[in-house]
Amino acid sequence: MIFRQLFDSVSGTYTYLLASRKGGEALIIDPVIEKVERYIQLVNELDLKLVKAVDTHLHADHITGLGALRDRTHCITVMGEQSKADVVSMRLAEGDKLTIEGLALDVLYTPGHTDDSYSFVMHDRVFTGDTLLIRGTGRTDFQNGDARAQYESLFNKLLKLPDETMVFPAHDYKGETVSTIGEERAFNPRLQVKSIEQYVDLMNNLNLPNPKMMDVAVPANMRVGLAQEAIARRGWAIGANEAMTLVGRGDVTLVDLREKTERERHGVIPGSLHAPYGDLAANVQPGGMLHELARATGKRIVFYCAFGERSAMAVQAAQDAGITNACHIQGGIDAWKKACGPLTR
């Protein structure tokens, strides 16, 4: 396994790069915008392909690298389903798996620091975001923070992991890099409370100043979405209502770019073809499934995904590969559901 812990000294943020093998797919957790060049360089040096960029929560102390990484590498941006970010490609919920080739991380919803905070468990380690820090816990006094919810996340989820599980947080301000669940249970001063009330009392009386970057970072991090308007201006986007008139038509192929778990949870547009985003490059090239389908049948390819971000990138890739009648459903299944479009499981 490839595992790298990278540090942004300005915000004290740890960013993690994971891959199962050299030459394989990679995942990055909590990237910082100023460090994007460095991440891309490292990904190239290790001969990896970045396929997913994940934020554990909407950060208040730095601007996320999610949008820049997506623009540079066409990776999928991922956050929890509660996130206030305008568009991310994929949203996760408790019990989901965060997967890339050769790796599957368990998704834990661990609210408290914010209401969109998630932790990710991979074998012997857990990425705790700002829920559990080394000898600390994330503040709960802004961004819908909730000390009570955090107590539950800590005591009923994270501390239930095996003692030897390594803890990799999103931040450290003293130079600590890693801890374990057992060590934190024993020595983290915030975890030495006798009751939920005592924890709430402790967290509500920290009186911390707001992060320096807060007024800049929070609004910026809520607008990470790909500019889908550019695709629409070129005539490559259709609305959900228009897309509904295409279901069942012989001259159209609807192509679902989502992953299996997303299809199972949210349903599928009837009659659509499943071609996951990860296989897109191969599928749209000459000789690829979608390229040949479009060429042989003349059918119009209509991509869709969860929120329209993967499909917008797919339209561009398809057009670049010569599939000139490709378009996508703007807003994805989310917009489709709002328009009461039919779904099957």
Smallest gap from Cβ 171 to Fe ion, in A, equals 7
Q: Report if residue 262 touches Fe ion, rule: CB under 5 A.
A: no
Size of residue set near Fe ion by CB under 5 A:
1
Smallest gap from Cβ 151 to Fe ion, in A, equals 17
Backbone φ, ψ for residue 255 (5° rounding) = -120, 120
Q: Which window, 124-132, 207-215, 217-225, 292-300, contacts Fe ion (CB under 5 A)? A: 124-132
Interatomic CA distance for residues 143 and 58, integer angstroms: 9
Interatomic CA distance for residues 91 and 258, integer angstroms: 11
Q: Report if residue 115 touches Fe ion, rule: CB under 5 A.
A: no
Smallest gap from Cβ 189 to Fe ion, in A, equals 19
Q: Report if residue 130 touches Fe ion, rule: CB under 5 A.
A: yes
Q: Which window, 15-23, 28-36, 130-138, 161-169, contacts Fe ion (CB under 5 A)? A: 130-138
Interatomic CA distance for residues 64 and 33, integer angstroms: 5
Q: Report if residue 55 touches Fe ion, rule: CB under 5 A.
A: no
Q: Which window, 21-29, 122-130, 212-220, 301-309, contacts Fe ion (CB under 5 A)? A: 122-130
Pick between residue 218 and residue 294 the one whose CB is nearest to Fe ion: 218
Pick between residue 116 and residue 130 the one whose CB is nearest to Fe ion: 130
Amino acid at 208: L
Sheet holding 90-92, edge to edge: 2-8, 13-19, 25-29, 49-54, 76-80, 90-92
What is the H or E stretch that residue 15 is in?
A: strand 13-19
Q: Which window, 125-133, 252-260, 288-296, 315-323, contacts Fe ion (CB under 5 A)? A: 125-133
Pick between residue 177 and residue 198 the one whose CB is nearest to Fe ion: 177
SS3 of 155, please? helix
Q: How buried is 54 (Cβ within 10 angstroms: 0-12 exposed, 13-18 middle, 19+ buried)?
A: buried
CA-closest candidate to residue 303, choices 273, 343, 281, 278: 273
Pick between residue 130 and residue 256 the one whose CB is nearest to Fe ion: 130
Q: How far apart are the first and last CA of the chain?
A: 35
Pick between residue 136 and residue 278 the one whose CB is nearest to Fe ion: 136
Closest-by-Cβ residue to Fe ion is 130
Q: Which window, 67-75, 129-137, 153-161, 278-286, contacts Fe ion (CB under 5 A)? A: 129-137
Pick between residue 117 and residue 228 the one whose CB is nearest to Fe ion: 117
Pick between residue 96 and residue 130 the one whose CB is nearest to Fe ion: 130
Amino acid at 229: E
Q: Report if residue 30 touches Fe ion, rule: CB under 5 A.
A: no
Pick between residue 41 and residue 210 the one whose CB is nearest to Fe ion: 210
Convert residues 172-211 into a mask of x (bound to Fe ion by CB under 5 A) and - (unbound).
----------------------------------------
DSSP 177-225: --EEHHHHHHH-GGG--SSHHHHHHHHTT--PPPPTTHHHHHHHHT---
Q: Are 186 and 180 in contact (CB under 8 A)?
A: no
Pick between residue 130 and residue 309 the one whose CB is nearest to Fe ion: 130
What is the H or E stretch that residue 319 is in?
A: helix 309-320
- Interface with Fe ion (CB under 5 A): 130
